[in-house]
Every structure is written in C-alpha cells, then in structure tokens.
Structure 1
C-alpha cells in the first residue's frame, strides 16, 4: 500500500551532497519539498534542479526546505550540479539524496516499473513540520514539474492551517477562501468578524490576511 496524505513521512538515513542526514532530524520544524528526478546529466532534470535553486528565496520565506533525490551517487550529483549552475544561471545549495541502492526511492514508491526499473519518476511530497505528508504529485519522466503550482499549493496548505479554511479551485494568495461546512454559522460569525458571503449554506466565502 502506497504512502497517503496524512501519513507520517518515513524516516531514513542517507548520504547527500550536504553529507549524511537523518531525514526527520534534518527536516525538524520545517516544511519540506521532497522531489525525485530520474537521473543526473539529463535535460528535463537539469531545468528542474535549476528552477528549484532559482526559487530558493521563495521556498525560504515559506519555511520550506527542498530535498532532491535520484538513484545516482554523491560524486555524480556533485559533478552534475556544476552543469546545473552553469546552464541555469543559479547556485544549487539544497541537498540532493544519493540513492544509488534505491532504498529511499523504493520506500517512497518513486520507482514505477512501467517507466523504469531503476530510475525514479518525478515524485513530489509536500511534508509539514510534523513530518506529515500533506500532498503528493507524480509526473512522468518526460514532463517537468510546474513550480508555480508547487508554491501555490504550499501557500494554500499554510493558509488553511493558519486560518482553518479551505481553498477553492485556482486559489492564489489574496483570493477568497472558503469557510468549511463543519463551522456553524454562529462560530463563523465569531471566527471571521471581517464578514463572509453565503452563496449556499455549505458555500461561504471570506477573506483572510497573513
């Protein structure tokens, strides 16, 4: 059975480009964007690794630590990082897991035999400061991830946690949020004194501020 939203992200000890880490200790108190890529020295992966590095400030201001992974060695990662920095005009500073024995990739079910028996697909795990998996996404090897969506969903999860709200389709920061149906009208009036618009008894919109 695969990992599900709400599960605790499995812990592991592994070598990375930043030295050996214990995942839970390294991640403690932070959100984590944990993502796999098929292989070093490949074109789509180079753009994705570069884009993650380019967005370092965006991840940092959200309290998010990126962590990459592929089934390559530390030495291969370090050589490839030079190419990423050169071609993507950036500096990769986050760690990349060296999972040559596929231990972590198999633990997180990142290897899909229909795509490859040895290389990871493009898996995404958004993990909260309590090590809980809050979102998963899986992309095929030939398609790069949408980093606007990755940041958007992190914003949505953090806004929902902070204000006890749900987020509508295509929500972005500053947009209307939804008061969950589990919140009574009486409680909604207390919790959201700024007011709200009731479209249906189960569909109530309001605004919140960070």
Structure 2
C-alpha cells in the first residue's frame, strides 16, 4: 500500500456500508502479494472463511472453483481470506487437489495480523475467536462496495446466489433499472419508480393485461 493510497482510503472506523469505498490493502496470498488496486477495472468478490480444512469451507472452495470460469465470464475475480498462515493455505489447497481432484485457481490472503479482516468488518465483535465470519464483498471496477453478504460460521454460502447477485449488480449498474424478486440473468428488468406525475402518465399507457407490465422492460443479457 502506498502512502498516497493510505491517505486517500483509510479503513473506515464504522462498519462498511453499501457504496463505501473499499478499504485498500496489500497482502501476501497463495499467488504472491495482492493489492486492491490490482483489481481496479474489473469486479472483485473478496470473501472470508473461518478456517482452513473445515468441512463447510472446503465445500465452498470446491464449488467456487467449479464456478470460477462463470465469474470470469462476468469480468469478476475471486479473492479468499482467512486468519490462517500461508503455509496452512497451501497445505489445504493441496489437500483439496489430492482428495477431490480440484485445483484452486484463485488466491487466498494470509491475514495473521487481521488487518484486512478488521478493515472489512469480517470479525464478529462479540466473539472470543479470531475466526472470520463468512463475508462476501462485491466490489465494482471503481473500488466501490456494491453489495455485502454476511453468513454465520455454521451456514455455507450459495455460489449460485453469489453469481446471481453479481449479474444483478452489473445489469442495474447504470441506476435506471432494478431486478424483481427471484430475478435470474435473461429475465426482464424493472424500471425505477417514476418521481413526477408527468413521468407516471407517460408510462401508464404502456400497461397491458393486469396493468403491472408497465414496470417491466426488455430482458437482460
């Protein structure tokens, strides 16, 4: 991390919120040092896991790796993190390859000092353990946090849901569209609600059938 970056983007003193600037970092990973700036210009999902070698985390890593190309097709990189050492990370991914035939292709941050975990609020403030909760931060190409999801240690994440959220964020990134409940890529998007009488009246004639279709626009890609 450069001194300039540190001044420009100090870690927030409050929990990260939607549309915050993601805290910068420079950390050792299983694939060398990674900085937040390495991912500028593309999407990034930074996610934490409580500990290496645990059954839930192992199931998540296998599922994430199997979907890694789908994330990359959406111009998104994956970056894992836990408080375990780089040596534990390397032993774990080797174990995954030997036992399950899956090679992990994304880096995992070593965060023994908890610097990144604390900057991103990945540590439960009321826990006596330093294990990180299951957090996922969706960071856009400009380094802005567009979504964040926290799970307890006992609940595994859904990789399909992570892909769905990423696709939804990209489909609505211009701010004039939204996704309805249960939206999937290829489904119709919603127009944002009108804020003036004129805008409302210009849209109402488009209504058909039961009158609700006027909210919908063309299908997403």
Does residue 110 of structure 2 align to residue 109 of structure 1? no
Query: Contact between 1:179 and 1:188, CA under 8 Å: does it hold in 2?
Result: no
Does residue 215 of structure 2 align to residue 204 of structure 1? yes
Q: Report the CA distance between 1:10 and its aligned residue.
A: 0.4
Does residue 34 of structure 2 align to residue 21 of structure 1? yes
Q: Report the CA distance between 1:85 and its aligned residue.
A: 2.2
How many equivalent pairs are there?
A: 203
Matches of residues 54-203 of structure 1 in structure 2 within 5 Å? Answer: 54-161=66-173, 164-182=176-194, 184=199, 199=211
Instruction: Give unmatched runs, 5+ long, in structure 1.
Output: 190-194
Structure 1-normalised TM-score?
A: 0.88
Query: For the residues of structure 2 that align with 1:50 and 1:93, how far apart are their CA atoms?
Result: 11
Secondary structure at the aligned position of 1:174 is classed as coil
Which of 34, 44, 49 is the matching residue for 1:37?
A: 49
The 1:187/1:7 distance shift into structure 2, 3 A limit, reads: farther
Structure 2-normalised TM-score?
A: 0.84
* Residue deviations 1:181-200 (CA, integer Å, cap 9, x gap): 147358869xxxxx775836
The 1:99/1:205 distance shift into structure 2, 3 A limit, reads: same
The list of structure 1 runs, each at least 4 consecutive aligned residues, that deviate by more than 6 angstroms after superposition, is 186-189
Query: For the residues of structure 1 that align with 2:84 and 2:69, how far apart are their CA atoms?
Result: 27
The 1:125/1:45 distance shift into structure 2, 3 A limit, reads: same
Secondary structure at the aligned position of 1:207 is classed as strand
Secondary structure at the aligned position of 2:160 is classed as helix
Instruction: Give unmatched runs, 5+ long, in structure 2.
Output: 1-13
Query: Contact between 1:67 and 1:97, CA under 8 Å: does it hold in 2?
Result: yes
Q: Report the CA distance between 1:87 and its aligned residue.
A: 3.4
Secondary structure at the aligned position of 1:66 is classed as strand
